Structure 1
C-alpha cells in the first residue's frame, strides 16, 4: 500500500539553510521511490486552524517512507529545516486502491454493522 510523509510547517524563516535543504532533498527521495504530491502549499482550512505550509510526499510503502526518513542522507538535512521552522512531520499508511470505502474500516476494526 502507498504511504505518505506529511509535513506541516509554520514560522518558516527562509534563508541559506532552507535553500540548501530544498536543493538536496530530491536526491534523498529517489532511492526510496518518494515523490512530492504537494510542496509548500497553503491549505484552505475548513475546520480548526492552520497557518503554514503543507508538504505531502508519496512512497510505495510505509517501509520505504520509514527508510527514507531514517536514511543518513535525509537525517543530515533535518536540522537545516528544523532550526528554521516549527514542524510536525508524520508518516501515514494509505489505503489500498481506488475501490476503498470508508466502511471498510469497520471490518478492519472487527465492528459488526
Structure 2
C-alpha cells in the first residue's frame, strides 16, 4: 500500500538555503522510490483558510517513507527547509484499493 509524505508550508523564505534544498531533495528520494505528486502549485482553496502550499510525495509503503525521512542524506538537508519555512509535515499510509468511507465508520463504531 502506498504511503505519503505530506507537508503544508505556510510560509517560505525563498533564499539560498531553500534553493539548495530543492537542488538536493530529488537525490534523497530516489533510493526509496519517492516521487512528487503535488509540488510547486497554488491550491484552489474551497473551504477555510489555507495559507501557503501543499507538497505530497508518494512512496511504495510507509517503511520506505520513514527510511527516506530518517536517512542521513535527507536529515543533512532538512534544516535547509525547517530553518527557512513555517509548516507541518506528516507521513501517512494511503487507503487500500477498494476503500470506502464507510470502512472508517465501521472501524469507529466497532471500537466504541
- TM above 0.5, yes or no, is yes
Q: Quick check: which one's helix share is greater?
A: 2
Partner residue in 2 for 1:103: 102
Partner residue in 1 for 2:89: 89
Partner residue in 2 for 1:21: 21
Which string of whole-angstrom CA distances, capped at 9 and with x for unpartnered residues, describes residues 6-46 of structure 1?
A: 01112211111111100100000011110000012222122
Distance 1:47 1:111 in 2: 30
Aligned length: 111
TM-score by length of 1: 0.90
Q: Please tell me the root mean square deviation across aligned C-alpha atoms, in Å.
A: 1.5
Distance 1:89 1:70 in 2: 13
